[in-house]
Amino acid sequence: MFDGLITLARAITGSVLVLASTLLHATLLFALAALKLLMPLPVLRGSLSRVLAAIGESWIAVNSWLIRRLAGTRITVNTVEGLRRDGWYLVVSNHQSWVDIPVLQAVFNRRIPLLRFFLKQQLIWVPVLGLAWWALDFPFMKRYSKETLDRHPQLRGKDIEATRRACEKYRSLPVSVMNFVEGTRFTAQKQASQGSPYRHLLLPRAGGIAFVLGAMDRLIEAVVDVTIVYPAGRPSVADLFCGRVREVRVDVRVLPPPAVGDYENDAASREAFQAWLNALWADKDRAIERMSDAPGTPRQGAAGGVR
């Protein structure tokens, strides 16, 4: 019973402190974002974008410290050379839990530009966070289902054009575009329903990252390939705040960006890109196997088919 009370106190304390940090940083973000809207010169807006990113990095740093101190979570990650805070990167990762996001932020904060996720347009209405993401130049996307496109064929290509517009602002602002290529969190049920050939992964979706690489028009310097493993099993956010996530293992590889070509209209380009992604995912599946069996990552510790 005493251990349960300690766990509950830890969870409540961590949640309250993260909420307080979020409200403080969000208030600063909202004020500066409003000022940015009034700026007449692009150079001034660009400077404010960098200040806003710095506030976002401070927000992440506080949350990461709280997770490390209160939750006791240890993240082990291999040493990677060559990453820069002023680069342009596409970051791809497997996706098992909502805990993946604070893990990725803890690993890459202030090592590369602020991670920015493509978000569904509806998420802008999430209290506090939606406006904070907008202030930090997260791209909001409106995606159409196959059924909607079949009923309204005039909408075809609209999501691609929206991707291009969202990426346009990053030409003068170093960025790390983050993409969970599976499109959803891994579960055994989803794996079975897809008929995924991978033991630990769902089928990767090539279209999203192909559109980003094409829209950035050779601006992306490298693909940062991330593999996340939870040795004790896939956790929830509640597990994290209750101190039940003792270890996370992360492997990072820096790869040259692949050629994309005309992914939408050229079958040969599309097949070549999908083959590259399939090979990447097969490597990741084997990496998860090795990392799951290993007692810990061997290097320095620190903070199938395409659909």
The pLDDT value given to residue 160: 67
Domain coordinates of the chain in residue numbers?
75-293
Q: What is residue 140's predicted lDDT score, i.e. its pLDDT?
A: 76
- In this predicted structure, what is the pLDDT of residue 162? 67
Max Cα-Cα span within the chain:
63
> Which residue has tokens 């920015």?
116
Could you give phi then psi for residue 179, rounded to 5 degrees? Answer: -140, 125
Query: What are the strands, taking DSSP E only, across the chain?
Result: 74-77, 88-93, 115-117, 119-120, 140-141, 175-180, 222-229, 247-255
Q: Across the chain, how many H-helices and E-strands are there? A: 10, 8
Residue numbers in the chain where pLDDT is lower than 50: 297-307
pTM score: 0.85
- DSSP-derived 3-state class of residue 109: strand
3-state secondary structure of 144: coil
- Provide φ and ψ at 178, rounded to 5°: -100, 135
Residue 77's DSSP bridge partners are 250
* Pairwise CA distance, residues 48 & 32, whole Å: 7
The CATH topology of domain 75-293 is Glycerol-3-phosphate (1)-acyltransferase (3.40.1130)
pLDDT at residue 215, rounded to an integer:
80
Q: Residue 145 has what pLDDT?
A: 62
DSSP assignments along 259-287, one per residue: P--STTT-HHHHHHHHHHHHHHHHHHHHH
Residue-level pLDDT at 280: 97
> What is the rounded CA–CA span in Å between residue 304 and residue 283?
10
